[in-house]
Structure 1
Amino acid sequence: MGFIDRAPLFSCPDWWEKLQRGETPMAEVPVNKAKAKKALAFFNRLRLPDVPGNPRLAEACGDWFRDILVAFVASEDPETQQRLVWELLCMVPKKSSKTTYTAGLALTVLYMCDVPNGQMLLIGPSQNISARLFDQAQGMIRLDESLRQVFKVQDHLKTITRYKTGTAIEVKTFDTSIVTGEIPLVTIIDELHELGKKNGAQQVMQQIRGGGITMTGGQLLMITTQSDKEPAGIWKSEIMKARAIRDGLSGPRPIMLPVLYEFPEELQKKEEFWRDRENWPLVLPNLNLSISRERLEDDYQNNGRISPETEQIWVSQHLNIEIGLGLHSERWNGADHWTAAARPDLTLEEIIETSEVCVVGLDGGGLDDLLGVAVLGRHAETKVWQHWGKAWADRGVLELRKSIAPELLDLEAAGDLILVDNLDLEAHPEIVEICQKLREAEKLPEEDGIGMDPEGVASIIDALIDEEFEIEDIRAISQGYKLNGAIKGAPVKLKNGSLVHCDQPMMRWCVGNAKAETRGNAVIVTKAKAGSAKIDPLMAFFNAVQLMSWNPVAATKKTFTYTGM
């Protein structure tokens, strides 16, 4: 049985133990020793162009990156002599010299490649990052007379060509047309997480990966810090895939080698753990090379801790704490208990069937907002409150709020969010249909079964009246401090298990966006980030909680007959 047949390939179940021992958190990968030796000899001779004295990478680079270099360049099944690592994803904190090291790796790959007249891509998500990648690579060449005889540098084209083969590295800024008609031999992407904020990144990645199925093959290396916002788009899918491979939960023959410098999820959720500076070195492989602990601690004290928002961004960049896991102190405290209250198998149909009474909350609906609906049912036997939500948005929000477009598209793919061209014609009829379904099941109370923020809902009220709902069915829910009871009461029920939900990605996103503010004796919930951090479906949930807290009784009780699990 060859190495490649052993499952699970590239899994590293002891990755956390390796980090604690100061080792690279990656699986053991067999390599061609001759290729590895040649690659290391070339890489180690390169000099840092922007550091006094221009030290060689032999002294200035951490061993962790050399492990990555060798695995990417020289992996080989010992029995079949076939390449094993076709893709590699490394997540490492900011200030780890990853851009400089990546430029050196790109030159090494170009030097090692014997394919004639091929193309390699070195991609940055912005002009600044791509310019720095090129500057570092060409700077290394110009510091070494012998390398100037090996490589041709064309500054105006941001291209470096190996004279012997004619194969070139082109340094480019990410664009959706970047690889049209091209089949690169190797693609290297710096700051992959930034592509999670760009529309069309998935399609570009598919084109890049298309080169991997040709006879000559195509390698892909991605290196990045964690995102400074909740993972979305291509970054979300890639980091989830990498973690699954690392944890042995992927298929038997993955082609990606993950190297992730991060704390385990349960520790990312413990603020007292990652705030303890003694734990920081565990995820800082370049400590004492490109960054000092003293400077890092001073930066945290003076810049990272000035507000909860800045701290959240700081730890995401310097400690790879994922936004949405390491939550800040101004979060709505129901966020602490949201995950534990999840019932992934719960559906709207089950809620209707098992509940003795149901209420509906609504919120939002402008062209720049989500229109959220919440159904909250009280279980006929256990009295547990059961929540299901859904949202709609005008398709134009993808342009109005480009920064969250990838998240919205992810939520659309999950089925929680529906993008429409006309809210009145497409969203409102579905909301009315949900209310009708509850009425036909005799689960709505005689009065106050539908609650909503009174602002901007006239057309929804008209749609309900047109379908013979009475004005008594609809209750205006006062917002702000008057919603304090629901905002404070819901976390209690989430914690004690008397409120459960369907574990919908949309609601997780909204809960993560929510910021709690104290106003006198009341707590109100607002957006953590004005404009882009949508919470409308969560506000619809609070409206439903407010209605249910009045202990409603269904207009006509119905015998409990549900027999499902």
Structure 2
Amino acid sequence: MPGTEEELPRFSCPDWWDKIQAGQTPMADVPLNEARAAKALAFFNRLRLPDVPGTPPLSEACGEWFREILCAFLASEDPETKQRLVWELLCMVPKKNSKTTYVAALGLTALFMEEAPNRQMLLVAPSQNISERCFAQAQGMIRLDDRLQKIFSLQDHLKCITRKKTGTKLDVKTFDTSIVTGEIPVLTIIDELHELGKKAKAAAVMQQIRGGGITMQGGQVLMITTQSDEAPAGIWRTELDKARKIRDGKGGKAPILLPVLYEYPVEQQRDQSYWRDVANWKCLLPNLGRSISRQRLVEDYENNGSASKETEQIWASQHLNIEIGVGLAGDGWSGAPHWDQCLDPKLKRLDDVLRRSEVCTIGIDWGGADDLAALYVIGRETTSKRWLGWGQAWARPSVFERRKGIAHHLREFEECGDLIVAQSGEEQAASAAAICRRVADEGLLPEAGGIGLDSAGVALLIDALEDVDLDQPMIQSVPQGWKLQTAISSVPLKLEDRRFLHGGQPIMAWSAGNAKQTLRGGNYVVTKEVSGAAKIDPLMAMFNASMLMFANPAAIGPSVYESRGILEISI
């Protein structure tokens, strides 16, 4: 019968919001090896909290939500094949729900349960402070119990715990690119995964860790985190998107990652009156009444969290898992909340835009040695007249030194091809001019107003465009500031109606989320000055292209294409 639970993809949980509202763990039902689950629970429950008065056991101090996660992760079993089902688990839960303490206890439980000799386990934290706290919690639990001291040995200086019977070790480490050496771990626990989204090589390290998953012995990965205090990026963006797809039944038929995401639906995140209502907080706080005091949380919000838009945004991201750019846009660009919903996976390359378009315009926003340069192509789809978008950005090596606060983002964009690192201004200008020449050779640019740019600091670019026979009137200056009002206010309407599609380039989502929108006189303005240190150059290039497309241009046509030929460039 269509729609029955048996036909749902593995680990999908279509009623996740109903479960959260009912105080249940928002995850799919997972078949268990009951004997293994009982053994894991018996060990876990006897562990005691070393930093709480009275050192209560977890049987009393831990919420049922984490025990369900523990059993699903350590004792899942396919009833037919008797094989493990949950190889990976991602739990996103707000701050102060004891996640660091609980994963330390889970790590000890896994170490006790592992019978294979001389294996390696890792508990990875993004900073030394967090890794030291993880180890201190596990260490304290062992020292509170004489029996556990007979089972485990501690090497405090190495932050290493060894099960004496098997020789298998649990190493507590601070994240860096060399944490995995030698044997692939049979278990890796990653605390505060969202912080790894700020590290350029995190994806490569994660791939190395996951190498254990394809060995005969297999390797499990548990990731637990709050939401990021900035727009999700890098490995965190990747893992969060994957987990949501699996939860929503769009992650394939047999995924290996079990999502457990404590968050509001997008509609509730965007409804600020909803999540600001204290009555709606409890459903996202599974440890309320244990590690979290409702009164103290309210007082913290009233005295600290609501002090300004910026502090409220950070507070809400950490304590309510409100995604930056979704739930509290504040003075953000009004199109940002709609950007992700306009993804068309068939628009990954410039070729894809050109093939489907009857005419194109190109917007360019140029930058100096310590800035980004960006180009954006908008095509008008031949049949539907929808807008189709694709962009490219450039940076010189000096940008990574002078803009260290965003260097981790830029490296991610470089890895996925959104950003080209050019050695000189001449090189990046020539690269941009080649893209413009390519679109022109396809016969898709209008005779006038096909390439629009901010006139500031573009001498090298103008020279490069002239070198490929592109000049006025095809090239035009696009007035900036309040004169971009049409693009700033009208593009969001196109995005809302999905009349503007794009390929989901990470650099564009990041740029759109960075933009700040202010009202000056009767016009909305998005400028680099208003947006501060956050980069919005790709978005400004898109605005420039939009201003030209709003003029309803017509392409020169195939005659130019036939006479000039096609420049062979692969984008």
TM-score range, shorter chain: 0.7 to 0.9
Match for residue 364 of structure 2?
Answer: 362
Match for residue 455 of structure 1?
Answer: 456
CA contact (8 A) 2:414 2:421 kept: yes
Change (3 A) 1:238 1:386: closer
Give the secondary structure class of the aligned counterpart of 1:169. Answer: strand
Give the secondary structure class of the aligned counterpart of 2:516. Answer: strand
Give the secondary structure class of the aligned counterpart of 1:165. Answer: coil
CA shift at 1:367, angstroms? 3.3
Match for residue 500 of structure 2?
Answer: 500
Change (3 A) 1:6 1:530: same
2: CA distance between counterparts of 1:215 and 1:352? 46
Paired residues for 1:164-563 under 5 Å: 164-338=165-339, 345=346, 358-376=360-378, 387-412=389-414, 414-425=416-427, 427-437=428-438, 439-440=440-441, 444=445, 447-492=448-493, 494=495, 500-505=500-505, 506-526=507-527, 530-531=532-533, 533-548=534-549
CA shift at 1:201, angstroms? 1.6
CA shift at 1:311, angstroms? 2.1
Match for residue 563 of structure 2?
Answer: none
CA shift at 1:64, angstroms? 0.5
Question: Unmatched 5+ residue regions in structure 2?
Answer: 1-5, 561-571
2: CA distance between counterparts of 1:407 and 1:212? 28
Deviations 1:453-479 (A, max 9, x none): 222211001112333444554433343
CA shift at 1:406, angstroms? 4.8
Deviations 1:256-302 (A, max 9, x none): 22211122234333333323322222221111111122222222222
CA contact (8 A) 1:465 1:471 kept: no
Deviations 1:382-431 (A, max 9, x none): 87665443322235544544554454344445544333334422x32343
CA shift at 1:112, angstroms? 2.1
**Higher mean Cα deviation, 371-380 or 149-158?**
371-380
Change (3 A) 1:219 1:93: same
CA contact (8 A) 1:242 1:258 kept: yes
**Higher mean Cα deviation, 170-179 or 144-153?**
144-153
Change (3 A) 1:117 1:339: closer
CA shift at 1:99, angstroms? 0.3
CA contact (8 A) 1:356 1:557 kept: no
**Higher mean Cα deviation, 341-350 or 155-164?**
341-350
CA contact (8 A) 1:339 1:503 kept: no
CA contact (8 A) 1:64 1:285 kept: yes
CA shift at 1:227, angstroms? 1.6
Question: Unmatched 5+ residue regions in structure 1?
Answer: 560-565
CA contact (8 A) 1:375 1:387 kept: yes
Deviations 1:419-451 (A, max 9, x none): 3334422x3234323433455566655555433
Give the secondary structure class of the aligned counterpart of 1:515. Answer: coil
The amino acid that maps onto 2:17 is W
**Higher mean Cα deviation, 73-82 or 504-513?**
73-82
1: CA distance between counterparts of 2:481 and 2:406? 25
1: CA distance between counterparts of 2:307 and 2:177? 37
2: CA distance between counterparts of 1:44 and 1:342? 46
2: CA distance between counterparts of 1:495 and 1:39? 49
2: CA distance between counterparts of 1:478 and 1:539? 12
Change (3 A) 1:475 1:61: same
Match for residue 72 of structure 2?
Answer: 71
Give the secondary structure class of the aligned counterpart of 2:281. Answer: helix
CA shift at 1:130, angstroms? 0.2
Deviations 1:497-552 (A, max 9, x none): 7x624344233322111101233444321457633x22112112222334455666
Structural RMSD (CA)? 3.1
Paired residues for 1:116-131 under 5 Å: 116-131=117-132
2: CA distance between counterparts of 1:213 and 1:43? 28
Match for residue 59 of structure 1?
Answer: 60
CA shift at 1:18, angstroms? 1.4
Deviations 1:163-191 (A, max 9, x none): 23322211111111111212223221111
**Higher mean Cα deviation, 67-76 or 540-549?**
540-549
Q: TM-score, normalised by structure 2?
A: 0.86
Change (3 A) 1:241 1:350: closer
Deviations 1:88-146 (A, max 9, x none): 22111111000011111111122222223332211111100000001111111222233
Give the secondary structure class of the aligned counterpart of 2:39. Answer: helix
CA contact (8 A) 1:357 1:443 kept: yes
CA contact (8 A) 2:481 2:527 kept: no
Give the secondary structure class of the aligned counterpart of 2:101. Answer: helix
Q: TM-score, normalised by structure 1?
A: 0.87
2: CA distance between counterparts of 1:479 and 1:315? 34
2: CA distance between counterparts of 1:381 and 1:185? 53
Match for residue 562 of structure 1?
Answer: none
CA contact (8 A) 2:200 2:412 kept: no
The amino acid that maps onto 1:500 is F
The amino acid that maps onto 2:184 is I
2: CA distance between counterparts of 1:428 and 1:266? 42
The amino acid that maps onto 1:329 is G
Paired residues for 1:141-156 under 5 Å: 141-156=142-157
2: CA distance between counterparts of 1:221 and 1:354? 42
**Higher mean Cα deviation, 160-169 or 97-106?**
160-169
Change (3 A) 1:484 1:133: same
Change (3 A) 1:529 1:145: farther
2: CA distance between counterparts of 1:282 and 1:328? 23
